Amino acid sequence: MKLWQSNTESNDYSAIIEKFTIGRDIEFDVLLAKYDIIGSKAHCTMLHAINVLSETESKAIQSALDSIAKDIEQGTFRIEEGIEDIHSQIEFDLVKQLGDIGKKIHTGRSRNDQSLLDIKLFIKEELRRIAALTESLFDTLIQQSEQYASVLMPGYTHMQLAMPSSFGLWFSAYAESLSEDLLLTSSAFELADTNPLGSGAGYGSSFPLDRELTTKELGMKSMNVNAIYAQMTRGKIEKITAFALSSIAATLSKISMDICFFMNQHVNLIGLSKEFTTGSSIMPHKKNPDVFELIRAKCNRIQSLPNELTLLTNNLISGYHRDFQLTKECLFPALQELASCLEMTQLMISNLTINTQVIEEDLYAVLFSVEEVNRRVLAGMPFRDAYMEVSHEIESGTFSAIRSVNHTHIGSIGNLGNDLIKQQFEKRMEVFG
């Protein structure tokens, strides 16, 4: 069944064309099923309000949609062979149940605004899930930060020993990174929370559609006002969402790389028990951080998503193009992949073991050279003189490290500022309701 087909004639090429144009749409459309019901119920309510549907017709359609929704919830709903997409299947089911009344549901609506609404509702729900998983990881990072706030560790620049850091400061850094990632995620959520329904194929409708009513029925914050622009958001909302996913993925990739480096026996800052690592078929001593390596790889791939969507949707004039169908193949799996990576990162970080004595190793004495320079400056020596003096002591092997730090400013080892980071994060979570 095709909503656009005006006759039942076919030719030798029909099956070939259909297979190519449908592609993987049915696979991903199942994920949109419940959102198509939500949109159809709101549209039905509006059609009754403008007297296109009688009260009897509206109630019959609403009841039939509820029945289909129950099948979707129970997992028994299927897109049947020969039916083009989720929109066609639901309309087909309505007609099967209600006859001609079911055919009225598409009045004043195009598959263009119908698809776009489904995708926006799906993105909203998925971003809520991503935000909740991000919050769980954030809470774990803050908890670890506060538990190990005073435990010193080496800091690195250029992958060389730099200055004293602390596990508290390191965990907290990634918590704040997630907070900024959440700002992008909340922006994507707000942009998805705009109703395109009523824009039709991009040029409005001669029916007196009440778009404010459907926006209210859908529980959306606002509408895309201009009918052409509403359709221009197809591809754009996917790309904006991809940037948000990419930002979180970048944070997860970086912390995964840190952990893989810190677990190296020569560095020995942190560890994982055997149950969280993998072994070798010939080396019995191996404890490989495969989970973090896979998180790193998966998240690096997610970071390519905005570019993929840009190339897919670039240089298209306004109006709908079938190119947009492929955005589902890019975005939908990435949402699932990032959710999985967030869950695994949270699990693994909860089970890290920390080398609380690592800073006492002789190797790390030079980390405290800057502290010594600052100590002499505070005693009255010019900074450049203090720098040169400590530098000569290091080169001659006479430098004696005082392994303590006295950092008091916000965001330093002695004053992590986690309360401020938490306040910032909580404010950004409010957008998701």
CA–CA distance, 45 with 37 (Å, rounded to integer): 12
351 & 371 share domain: no
Average pLDDT over every residue of 145-174: 97
> For the chain, what is the mean pLDDT?
94
308 & 178 share domain: yes
Phi, psi of 194 (to 5 degrees): -125, 130
Residue 129 lies in a domain: yes
Asked which of 173-177, 235-239, 283-287, 297-301 is least confident by mean pLDDT, the reply is 283-287
Give the pLDDT of residue 4. Answer: 46
> Domain count of the chain?
3
Residue 163 lies in a domain: yes
Give the pLDDT of residue 18. Answer: 72
283 & 334 share domain: yes
Range of the domain at 271: 112-186+233-359+414-432
CA–CA distance, 225 with 59 (Å, rounded to integer): 29
81 & 50 share domain: yes
260 & 329 share domain: yes
Residue 198 lies in a domain: no
Does the predicted model carry a pTM greater than 0.75? yes
Closest CA to 206 of 215, 196, 198, 194: 198
**CATH, residue 283:** 1.20.200.10
pLDDT tens profile 404-423: 899 999 999 999 999 999 99
247 & 366 share domain: no
Enter the tokens of residue 184. Answer: 């992008």
Enter the tokens of residue 37. Answer: 């019901």
Give the pLDDT of residue 6. Answer: 55
171 & 30 share domain: no
**CB-facing half-sphere around the CA of 177: CA atoms within 13 A:** 18
Asked which of 15-19, 139-143, 265-269, 323-327 is least confident by mean pLDDT, the reply is 15-19
120 & 260 share domain: yes
Last residue of a domain, one of 76, 107, 138: 107
Give the pLDDT of residue 28. Answer: 85
172 & 247 share domain: yes
Per-residue pLDDT at 110 exceeds 70 = yes
pLDDT tens profile 352-403: 999 999 999 999 999 999 999 999 999 999 999 999 999 999 999 999 999 9
